[in-house]
């Protein structure tokens, strides 16, 4: 294998680890937010906020991820967050 090949693999692995670290941070932050909402008597889920999140991420997406791919990813991210933190 070429040096560039190995360099790309290493960078991909580094990026994958950063994605997992970011996901774990997101889960911790959402968990804290949900505790605050519970203390204030607010609903955990906010469909308007989820829509604004999707819109903001779509605006920030510079590709090559397609809009459809981004929408699918965000849907999976939100579903995963709810599963991991016990919201059904």
- Taking the model in full, what pTM does it have? 0.90
What does the angle CA 6 – CA 69 – CA 58 come to, to the nearest 5 degrees?
A: 105
User: What's residue 1's pLDDT?
Assistant: 77
Domain range for 33: 3-84
How many independent structural domains does the chain possess?
A: 1
Q: 44-54 pLDDT, tens per residue?
A: 999 999 999 99
DSSP 22-51: HHHHHHHHHHHHHHHHHHHT--S--HHHHH
Q: What is the CATH number of the domain that holds 58?
A: 1.20.59.10
Asked whether residue 24 carries a pLDDT value surpassing 80, the answer given is: yes
User: What's residue 87's pLDDT?
Assistant: 72
What does the angle CA 33 – CA 54 – CA 50 come to, to the nearest 5 degrees?
A: 40
């Amino acid at each position: 294998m070429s040096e560039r090949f190995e360099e790309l693999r290493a960078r991909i692995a580094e990026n994958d680890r950063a994605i997992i670290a970011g996901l774990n941070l997101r889960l911790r932050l959402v968990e804290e937010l949900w505790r605050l909402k519970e203390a204030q008597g607010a609903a955990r889920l906010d469909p308007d906020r989820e829509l604004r999140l999707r819109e903001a991420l779509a605006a920030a997406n510079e590709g090559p991820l397609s809009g459809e791919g981004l929408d699918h990813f965000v849907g999976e991210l939100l579903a995963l967050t709810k599963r991991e933190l016990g919201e059904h």
